[in-house]
Amino acid sequence: MARRGVRIGAVAAATVLAVGLVPGTAHAATGNVNDPRGDAPKVADITKLKFKNGTYRATGVITVPHRKLKKLAFTNLEIKPKRNAGWIYIVSIHRDAAGKVTDKTLAWQQGDDPSTYTPVPCTGIRQAWIGKRTKISVPQSCLTKHHGTRLKARAGILARVGPGHDFYDDRTRYTRYLKRG
């Protein structure tokens, strides 16, 4: 009887050990940035950015509680590689006055200097609204202007808010640098 208990214990221990050694699914590194509510007009007020630096795609989920698509001119995800001398990728979703997406672009720019804006060819940019959140993603294969795997991001919105003050811009802080994968 004692041998049977030892065998059962050994089998149970081996099973627990084996299950613990089986690799789980990989999860992309994720960073969050909360932005104060009310620091911009309601249509442009970003309250949160969640950024994932995945193996195949870099994805930002931007929370805008009071969105109106007709008021949004541009929604940007700015991605900054580590060790890049201040250069950033700008993933832009352009909307017309009716709120329809008219263009999805990727560019490479030195900081906030618009004279260095250089379009980067990319056909895999995706965008979707899910309730009060917009999800913008770009394939890692399009992010070819830098070396390394660490990225951080911030979000921005350029909104049409009315006559006499046609545009308003809201941007979040950057997330922390995230390793790919």
Q: What angle do CA 128, 152, 146 make, to 5 degrees?
A: 100
Q: What angle do CA 67, 111, 50 make, to 5 degrees?
A: 40
The yes-or-no verdict on residue 19 having pLDDT over 70 is no
Residues 33-84: tens digit of each pLDDT: 999 898 888 888 899 999 999 999 999 999 999 888 888 889 999 999 998 8
Predicted local confidence at residue 161, as pLDDT: 73
Phi/psi class of residue 164: alpha, beta or left (left: φ > 0; alpha: ψ in -120 to 50)? left
Predicted local confidence at residue 25, as pLDDT: 46
Residue 166 pLDDT grade (very low, low, confident, very high; cuts 50, 70, 90): low
- Determine how β-strand 72-81 pairs with β-strand 48-53: unpaired
Q: What average pLDDT is seen over the chain?
A: 85
Q: What is the pTM of this model?
A: 0.81
Predicted local confidence at residue 43, as pLDDT: 83
Domains (ranges, CATH) in the chain?
28-171 (2.60.40)
Phi/psi class of residue 148: alpha, beta or left (left: φ > 0; alpha: ψ in -120 to 50)? left
The yes-or-no verdict on residue 177 having pLDDT over 60 is yes
The answer to whether the beta carbons of residues 178 and 151 sit under 8 Å apart is yes
